[in-house]
Amino acid sequence: EQVTLLKNDVSNGAMTAEAANQNLKTWSDSRYKELETELPGHAQKNLKNYWAENFNRQTSGFLPLQLRADVQKGSVLADRYGEIATRLERTKGREYLESNLTTLNLSEADKQARIYGYESGRDQLSIDDRITVALQGKDVASLQGLLTDLGGGKFGYLDGKQIQQNKDRVASRIDALNTQLKAEENKRVSEAGKFLNEYKSNVLTGRAQDADYEANVSKLVAGTEHEQEFNFLKSQSVNFQRFANKSTSEQQALINEQKAKMKNSPSAKAADEERILGVYQSIYSEKLQTAKTNPNQTVREAGLKVNDLGGMLLKTDTNSWIDGAIENGVSQLALKDANISVKPISAEDLPEAKMAFDAKSVDQKLNFIGGLIGKSKGIKNGASIWGAVLGQLG
């Protein structure tokens, strides 16, 4: 019974063979002394010989159990070392695995098999990584290169079956990716007109175009019937921006100049010149309309500050409202655009401002008018500013 318990501990790796031997010897000596006193003298020698023989026979079984336990423990550790090695760079991972395997009680064949297993695993991981990167980048050429490497013996730790399986896998990915790319290309070509129209609308506003957006549209229309139109618009985009930043008077002068040039001069690009003139006229018409109906918006587009002139400010702080109105009028006149209308109150503020003004008493209205006139003194064309304010308020 004692031997069985000790063998179980040795088999589980909880005790070494040497410790089991010592444990059994201590127990055996103690037990023998107990039995020896109970036997007659002539039987003691036989018991001693029998006892020693059995002790030696039993202890010889401990070492094989320890060796087997060491192998089992070593196998578990070897598996763990293999897992850790795969997280390292390939060469460093192999060095780590080899150095740790030397400390384990495993056969050389087992150690070599684990190293080969590590290398074949790294080969497979390399293949998987290359497939993933190629698919993410939609890179058919990289997959073709991988297929070539599979047939060229680059992955020497994989057997023939594994190589063929990977070849089939890569070939399948190539077919699938080609199908996807073809569908995407067909979609791109069919939608190129839509992207061009959006870009055209943006360019015709006369505003600067975001570089990334412009580059993306360029890719979307490349190789399609819309590419030429895109390149034309892109080449003229800066000119449209410059034209849009001029005053309506300057714009009108440039349009007239261009019309005269087109009428009196021969040209090899008459169609392009007509298109450019059409864009100029469109930008001019829109800016002219804004200058006449909402001059504060023209001021904003020029980069100047516009004061809000809502009804609440007119009720609670009339002086500040008047200051803001005068400043808005000065800003409008500062643009020096002959076509601009002086309207200090923005269209969005006008309804509330009218209500607030109408709600004032006669004396309050007179004080308000006096304040407008007083704060306009000394300002060039000040009368036109306070007159415009009163005209807006009715």
Q: 29-64 pLDDT, tens per residue?
A: 777 677 777 777 666 677 777 777 777 777 666 667
Give dist(CA 280, CA 244) in Å, integer: 8
Give dist(CA 344, CA 322) in Å, integer: 10
Per-residue confidence (pLDDT) for residue 261, from 0 to 100 = 82
Contact at 8 Å (CB) between 220 and 188? yes
What is the percent of the chain with per-residue pLDDT over 90, rounded to a whole number?
36
Per-residue confidence (pLDDT) for residue 265, from 0 to 100 = 74
Alpha helices in 204-305 (DSSP H): 211-221, 227-244, 248-264, 270-293, 295-301
Give dist(CA 23, CA 21) in Å, integer: 5
Looking at per-residue pLDDT, the higher value among 69 and 171 belongs to 171
DSSP letters, 212-225, are: HHHHHHHHHHTTST
**Mean pLDDT, residues 234-257:** 86
pTM reported for the whole predicted model: 0.46
Categorize the per-residue pLDDT at 10 as very low, low, confident or very high, splitting at 50, 70 and 90. low
Give dist(CA 372, CA 309) in Å, integer: 14
* Cα dihedral 323→326→328→329 (10° resolution): 180
User: In a 3-state reduction of DSSP, which class is residue 246?
Assistant: coil
Give dist(CA 106, CA 120) in Å, integer: 20
What is the per-residue pLDDT across 259-274, written as a single tens digit (0 to 9) for each? 888 877 776 667 778 8
What is the per-residue pLDDT across 166-187, written as a single tens digit (0 to 9) for each? 999 999 999 999 999 998 888 8
How many other CB atoms sit within 10 Å of the CB of residue 21? 19
341: alpha, beta or left? (left if phi > 0; alpha if psi -120 to 50): beta
- At which residue do the structure tokens 């790319």 appear? 181
Cα dist from 348 to 296, 331, 365, whole Å: 11, 18, 22
DSSP 207: P
Tokens of 186: 């067909």
DSSP 208: P
- At which residue do the structure tokens 């309207």 appear? 343
Per-residue confidence (pLDDT) for residue 332, from 0 to 100 = 93
Give dist(CA 254, CA 12) in Å, integer: 98
